[in-house]
Amino acid sequence: MRTAYSVETVRNAERELMERLPEGALMQRAAAGLAAACADLLGRAPGRVYGARVVLLVGAGDNGGDALYAGARLARRGAGVTAVLVDARQRAHPGGLAALMAAGGRVVTGPHEVHEVHEVHEGHGTGADGPAAPLAHAGGGTGSAAYVALHRAHLVMDAITGIGGRGGLRPEAVPLVRAAEASGAVLVAVDLPSGVDADSGRVDGACVRADVTVTFGAYKPGLLIDPAKERAGALRFVDLGLETAGTPADLEALQHADVAALLPVPAAESDKYRRGVVGVVAGSARYPGAAVLAVAGALHGGAGAVRYVGQGGDAVLARFPEVLVSGGAPADAGRVQSWVIGPGLDDRVKDARADVLASDVPVLLDADALAGLDPQEVRGRSAPTVLTPHAGEAARLLGVERAEVESGRLDSVRKLAVKYGATVLLKGSTTLVAPPDGGRPVRVNPTGTGWLATAGSGDVLSGLVGSLLAAGLAAVDAASVGAYLHGLAGRSAARGAPVGAGDVAGAVAGAWRGVGRG
Ligand SMILES: NC(=O)C1=CN([C@@H]2O[C@H](COP(=O)(O)OP(=O)(O)OC[C@H]3O[C@@H](n4cnc5c(N)ncnc54)[C@H](OP(=O)(O)O)[C@@H]3O)[C@@H](O)[C@H]2O)[C@@H](O)CC1
Ligand SMILES: Nc1ncnc2c1ncn2[C@@H]1O[C@H](COP(=O)(O)OP(=O)(O)O)[C@@H](O)[C@H]1O
Ligand SMILES: [K+]
């Protein structure tokens, strides 16, 4: 399981550990890990650090301190290191500054002025294309030293803000960050891309778009949730020895082994009924395809049989003769161990929804079954209920704008779970699953892919998750295992080219086999 912790938890764990360690030891651990990651990115041969040109965008806090100490380490290995003090008042970590200067690094204050130029010790600035150009001197009229350095850099560290950052980048930082992004250098975010919110994944204003983020001590939720996740690039983790074991994670992501342990496997004495029967109420005369796709997902989710209820029976049977089809009301269709209701339904949805909600088995509500859903209808149930909205549906259920859900996915999924007393799977670029109390941990799906954004793929997901419920998984597990397999199926079906929802359903068995093999 990959876990992520809030800033408050990280700071508490850091405080406890710092009490037992010499002053500055944690920052040295962070800097050592950061320098090693950067050296690795510059090329594995030691010579690639020697002569490399590295620029540090340094903010006023400890995040800048990490980069200054890491820069000092790289400078001692022969890199030409320039620190650009981004803070409007040119504050920077004093110990880190001293260390960088002692190692022969250069410090530039702001884009238009050179504060101090230190002699570059032997070997610096002698990269593949010759010695680094001398930095512009204050008021020398040769352009900004910071921009010259950025333009020539092989690697830039973004150390403007880490977990202490508030809001987006301040105006003085924006042109420097844009120059770094345009330079062609590898852009490495220190702990977090500056400008993103560590706890929520929100991006309020300008922020850094990194190629790699080197994060310290614990993953922060923002690194795993869009829109911030998308700005973080590839993640690298530096272990600081923080103790978070006793604290519930804010976020957790299943890994292959976790999913393998949860997959239902038929026992020797199983029969189709003992494996569970999933009832699917989906499709209509207008949308028979939704019935086919939801059933296709359900056939691959571990239930022993799929019962279909609705007007798409002919289409379902033509494709899947193994399905038990009923034309009447769900309550008359026979016993099931879970219900899935919603994809492609017509205006008779309300009666059918009341029927399945009155049952004593887990119910998954998707698409049309979410419209106008009364929280009391769900809260009174004794068996689990799972809601699977996309951002638009979640916004309607919460009475907010869709953009609000998309920019604050973690908040939104928690609020919905609390409002309905239900497990909520919020679909989209980052799929999240919140438990019914909206508490910790929320699960984040690590396998998603934009190729899943194709009509009907949500129908497949609802059938798949409903089938896992019928097979006996707890609601949060069924939802997160379903999303995990669905993401893997999307990836393997697509392999870099567009696919339809039917292809995704067809790839679920392969994804299951891949996970099962560990
Ligand atoms: N604690 C530990 O043991 C360890 C911590 N470690 C490291 O410390 C980092 C946390 O350091 P931190 O607490 O000093 O905060 P930090 O992220 O540098 O930002 C605060 C500064 O930024 C400023 N600022 C705020 N918002 C801003 C904005 N939008 N745009 C621009 N500036 C903004 C704010 O200025 P002010 O608001 O005062 O004007 C303040 O000066 C953490 O992420 C990790 O890297 C590691 O060494 C491991 C050990
Ligand atoms: N940008 C994205 N990245 C990853 N997955 C996405 C993205 N956009 C949509 N998805 C996934 O695609 C599926 C679409 O479901 P949904 O919105 O219900 O569409 P439909 O109703 O057409 O089936 C969901 O599983 C969702 O998580
Ligand atoms: K940063």
401 & 360 share domain: yes
Residue type, 221: P
DSSP state of 219: B
**Opening angle at CA 474, ends 483 and 336, nearest 5:** 95
Per DSSP (E only), the strands in 360-447 are 363-365, 385-387, 423-426, 432-434, 442-444
Query: Ligand 2 centre and the CA of 334: distance in Å?
Result: 31
Number of folded domains in the chain?
Answer: 2
- Give CA–CA dist 238/214, Å, rounded: 7
Looking at the DSSP assignment, which residues form a beta bridge with residue 214? Answer: 190, 236
Instruction: Please give the Cα distance from 260 to 195 (Å, whole number).
Output: 37
The reply, when asked if residue 142 is annotated as ligand binding, is no
Do residues 35 and 112 both lie within one domain? yes
DSSP state of 221: G
Helices (runs of H) and strands (runs of E) counted in the chain: 19, 20
Pairing of strands 432-434, 442-444: antiparallel
For residue 120, what is the domain's CATH number? 3.40.50.10260
Cα dihedral 278, 280, 281, 287 in deg (nearest 10): 180
Determine, yes or no, domain membership for 55: yes
Distance CA 356, CA 348 (A): 13
Count of Cβ atoms closer than 10 Å to residue 328 Cβ: 9
Residues paired with residue 85 on neighbouring β-strands, in sequence order:
58, 109
Which H/E stretch holds residue 326? strand 324-326
How much of the chain, in percent, has pLDDT values that exceed 70?
Answer: 92
Supply the residue whose CA is at minimum distance from atom 26 of ligand 1. 165
Instruction: Name the pLDDT band for 313 (thresholds 50, 70, 90).
Output: very high
Task: Read off the pLDDT of residues 369-379 as tens digits, 9 standing for 90 and up.
Answer: 999 999 999 99
Do 93 and 188 fall within a single domain?
yes
Is residue 493 domain-resident?
Answer: yes
Helix (H, G, I), strand (E, B) or coil at 152: helix
Q: Are residues 230 and 139 both part of a single domain?
A: yes
In the listed set 220, 244, 268, which residue is the last one of a domain according to the structure?
244
* Closest ligand 1 atom, residue 167 Cα: 29
Residues 222 and 263 in one domain: no
Of the three residues 244, 273, 303, the one that is the final residue of a domain is 244
Amino acid at site 60: A
Output the domain CATH number for residue 362: 3.40.1190.20
Is residue 183 part of an annotated ligand binding site? no
Ligand 1 pocket residues where CB is under 6 Å: 14, 18, 26-27, 30, 59-64, 66, 160-167, 169-170, 173, 190-191, 216
Q: What percent of the chain has pLDDT over 90?
A: 86
- Do both 173 and 277 map to the same domain? no
Mutate to test the pocket of ligand 2, among 427, 431, 484 (most ligand atoms within 8 A of CB): 427
250 within some domain: no
Question: Are 484 and 423 part of one and the same domain?
Answer: yes
Task: Say if residue 447 is in the same domain as residue 388.
Answer: yes
The model's pLDDT over 204-225, given as tens digits with 9 standing for 90+, comes to 999 999 999 999 999 999 999 9
| Assigned token pair, 229 | 């996740």
Mean pLDDT of the chain: 92
Q: Is there a domain that residue 249 lies in? A: no
- 279 with 216, same domain: the answer is no
**Is position 390 annotated in a ligand binding site?**
yes
- Please report whether residue 465 resides in a domain: yes
What lies within 8 Å, CB to CB, of 47 at 6+ separation is none
CA of 61, closest atom in ligand 1: 18
Q: Which ligand is nearest to the CA of 28?
A: 1
Residues 150, 53 share a domain: yes
Reported as a single tens digit per residue, the pLDDT across 325-341 is 998 999 999 999 999 99
> Considering the entire predicted model, what is its pTM?
0.92
Q: Which ligand is nearest to the CA of 158?
A: 3
CA of 194 to the centre of ligand 1 (A): 10
Tens of pLDDT, residue by residue over 122-174, are 333 333 332 223 333 333 333 389 999 999 999 999 999 999 999 999 999 99
Of 263 and 131, the one with more pLDDT: 263
Residues 6 or more apart from 72 whose CB is under 8 A from it? 31, 81, 96, 99, 100, 102, 103, 105
Q: Could you tell me which of 29, 32, 72, 33 has the C-alpha nearest to residue 54?
A: 72
Does the structure show a pLDDT above 70 at 513? yes
> Which one, of 222, 280, 227, lies nearest residue 251 by Cα?
222
pLDDT of residue 347: 77
What tens digit of pLDDT does each residue of 410-428 get? 999 999 999 999 999 999 9
**Alpha helices in 43-118, H assignment, sequence order:** 62-76, 94-102
Instruction: Using the 3D structure, point to which of 244, 276, 304 is the last residue of a domain.
Output: 244
CA of 381 from ligand 1 middle (Å) equals 46
Q: How far is the CA of 366 from the centre of ligand 2 (A)?
A: 12
Question: Is residue 396 domain-resident?
Answer: yes
Report how far ligand 1's centroid is from the alpha carbon of 69 (Å).
15
Tell me which of 393, 424, 425, 457 to substitute to probe ligand 2's pocket, judged by most ligand atoms within 8 Å of the beta carbon.
Answer: 457
Residue-wise pLDDT tens digits, 431-457? 999 999 999 999 999 999 999 999 999
Atom 45, ligand 1: residue with shortest CA distance: 63
Report d(CA 490, CA 445) in Å as an integer: 13
In this predicted structure, the answer to whether residue 489 has a pLDDT above a threshold of 70 is yes
pLDDT (tens digit, 9 = 90+) per residue, 339-398? 999 999 987 888 999 999 999 999 999 999 999 999 999 999 999 999 999 999 999 999
Q: Which of 27, 63, 170, 172 to mutate to test the pocket of ligand 1 (most atoms within 8 A of CB)?
A: 63
* Terminal C-alpha separation, the chain: 14
In this structure, the answer to whether residues 203 and 300 fall within a common structural domain is no
Q: Quick one: pLDDT at residue 348?
A: 82
Ligand 1 atom with least separation from CA of 18: 3
**For residue 17, which atom of ligand 1 is closest to its CA?**
3
Q: What distance in Å separates the CA atoms of residue 49 and residue 351, rounded to the nearest whole number?
A: 68
With a Cβ cut-off of 6 Å, ligand 2 is lined by 367, 390, 427-429, 431, 448-450, 452-453, 455-459, 461, 486
Domain extent at residue 329? 256-516
Tell whether 73 and 97 lie within a shared domain.
Answer: yes
Task: For residue 208, tell me if it sits in a domain.
Answer: yes
> What DSSP element (H or E) covers 189?
strand 186-190
